[in-house]
Structures are given as structure tokens and as C-alpha cells.
Amino acid sequence: MAALIVIVPIFALILAGWLTRRLGVIGAQGMTELNRFVVWLSLPALLFDLTAHARLAEVWQPGFVLAFGASVVGVFVLTILLRVRRRPLADAALDGLGAAYGNVAFMGFPVMTAVLGPPGLMAATIATLIVVCMLFAAAVALIETGLQAEARLHHLALKVGKALLRNPLVVAPLLGGAAAVAGLAIPDPLEKALKMLGGTASPCALITIGLFLGGKTASASNKGENGSIALLVVLKLIVQPLIALALAKALDLPVVLTRGAVLLAAMPTGTGPFMLAEFYRREVSVTSKTILISTIASAATLSACIAMVY
């Protein structure tokens, strides 16, 4: 029931976007501009706010970081290796992000609160920092690398470095982390503005997914695309939590941290991959449908994971 209660609002926002597109209220251009708003304003505000308030003493749980982080990195790398043989590196990186990037913030916090209580919030915070900041930055770096045509290594490194420094999704968490290390206090008006902007990231991204799915071209899919979606969903909902469980058991983590690592690894694909797919105009259909299908299927897989760790 906890999983279902959290999932319903997600579907409601996707449905709102779908209906808006089908009724012709917002077209393809509006969808693109809404996504640009998320990428350039609301998500950077969220990333900065998260990292600026992160405290090392609170999030330093090396066993949990290793168990959950390795499950994320393992699925990310495995997906890229499976896909890069037939796809460009940029597309393979987006697929890897779709298979590894869990909805640990929008779904993770309420599910962890419902299932584990207050201790689950710390685990969800650590998972959010790993997924939203570190994994996202790695994916952007690989996508930018794949998009560059330069053959010589120093030219490639220079172009990728410049692209990353211009990317707000990389710069924002770096600035937030620097503020946290320096012990800088965020002025109250700016803090409120950041929270207002950051709070729009997930709702706008979900509506954008609905807008894309409501387009006429979004309904058509080929056999290859269906196979890609199935692979990403299986890796996300089944393989990743199993890796997290195996590592948590091997590391002999406390029960709460073991449960947290498994449940957070079992979260469906979040909206971050779609933001990048739409921004770079690559793998948009596969990514959006992976988010939708994994979210639907997670009602069953999350319940199974809860039963498995209790």
C-alpha cells in the first residue's frame, strides 16, 4: 500500500501531461521549453540545495554507500557494455542512466518513511546524493564524450571539460558542495527561492513525460525498442536490488541499512534520464517508456523487495 500510495501522484502528473498534449493545449515546442526550464533552473536549484546542506558526519555511512553505490555503478556500467556494441556511446550512456537512475528522491523519501520510519530518511538522502549528483555527472561526461568528433585525446578532453563546465547539472552540485565545505550559510531569501525552484523539478519532469507520450509519434515503437525497454526495466527493478542485497549481506550491514539499500535500489527509473534524453534529443522514446513501465511494475517489485528484506 505504501508503494501504491506514492505511485498514484506520479501517474496523475504523467496523465495530466498526456491529456494536455492530446487536447492540443501544449505542443512539442512547449514540451521542449518546459524541459529546458527543468534542466537550466529547477533541477540545478535542487542539486545546489541538496549538496549545500549535506553534512559529512550525517551522510558518512561507508557500508551503505558501498552497497548501494556499487549496485548503481554496476548496473550503469553493465548496461553501457551491453548497449555500446550496437549503439553510439552517448545513447548507451543514456540507456545506462535509465537502468541505474532510481527515483530515490520523489518516491524514495515517502516509501522509506512509510516502511523504515525516520532512519530511512538518512539512507534516502545518501542515495539521492549518489544518484542525482554523482551518477548524473558521470552520465553527462560520457554523453559529451560520445558527442565529440575529435580523435586526439587532449582535444577531446578539452572539449568535454568545456561542455561540462557549461552544464548547469554539473556546476550546481559542485558549487553547493563548495559552499558546504566552506561552511557558508545560504541567506534565507535565497534559500526559499532555491526550495521553490527545486520543488518544481519532479512535477515538471513528470508532466513533460506525459507531454511526450501524448504526441502522435510517441505511440509507435519497434521490436528493437521494446527489447531495449524490457532490458532496462529488468536491470533496474530486479538486477540492481539483488546486487545491493548481496553486497549488504557480504558487508554485514545493520538491518536498517540493508533494508534501505535494497529498497532504494528497487526504486523505478526517475525523471532525470528523460531530462537529459530530451535535452540532447537522443533515446527520448526508450527513456520515457522505461520510466513509465518501471513505475507501473514497481508496485509489484517493491512489494516483493519489502517481503524479501523483512
Per-residue tens of pLDDT for the chain, all 310 residues: 666 676 678 788 889 999 999 999 998 889 889 988 988 998 888 878 878 887 776 667 899 999 999 999 999 999 999 998 888 999 999 999 999 999 887 778 777 877 787 777 778 888 888 888 789 888 988 888 888 754 455 565 666 667 667 778 778 888 988 898 888 888 999 999 999 998 888 788 888 878 887 876 544 556 668 899 999 999 999 999 999 999 999 999 999 999 999 999 999 998 889 888 988 888 888 998 999 899 889 888 988 888 777 6
Q: pTM, whole model, 2 decimals?
A: 0.78
pLDDT (0 to 100) of residue 50 = 79
102 bridge partner residues: 269
Instruction: Name which of 293, 211, 217, 308 is nearest 263 in CA terms.
Output: 308
pLDDT (0 to 100) of residue 23 = 92
pLDDT (0 to 100) of residue 222 = 61
Cα dihedral sign, 103-109-115-116: positive
pLDDT (0 to 100) of residue 151 = 46
Total of domains in the chain: 1
pLDDT (0 to 100) of residue 206 = 82
Instruction: Please state, as a whole number, how many other Cβ atoms lie within 10 Å of the Cβ of residue 190.
Output: 12
What is the extent of the structural domain holding 258? Answer: 2-309
Instruction: Please state, as a whole number, how many other Cβ atoms lie within 10 Å of the Cβ of residue 251.
Output: 16
Instruction: Name which of 268, 273, 267, 265 is nearest 209 in CA terms.
Output: 273
pLDDT (0 to 100) of residue 32 = 85
pLDDT (0 to 100) of residue 217 = 53
pLDDT (0 to 100) of residue 308 = 75
What are the angstrom distances between the C-alpha of 305 and each of 22, 78, 220, 308? 36, 22, 33, 5
Write the CATH number for 294: 1.20.1530.20
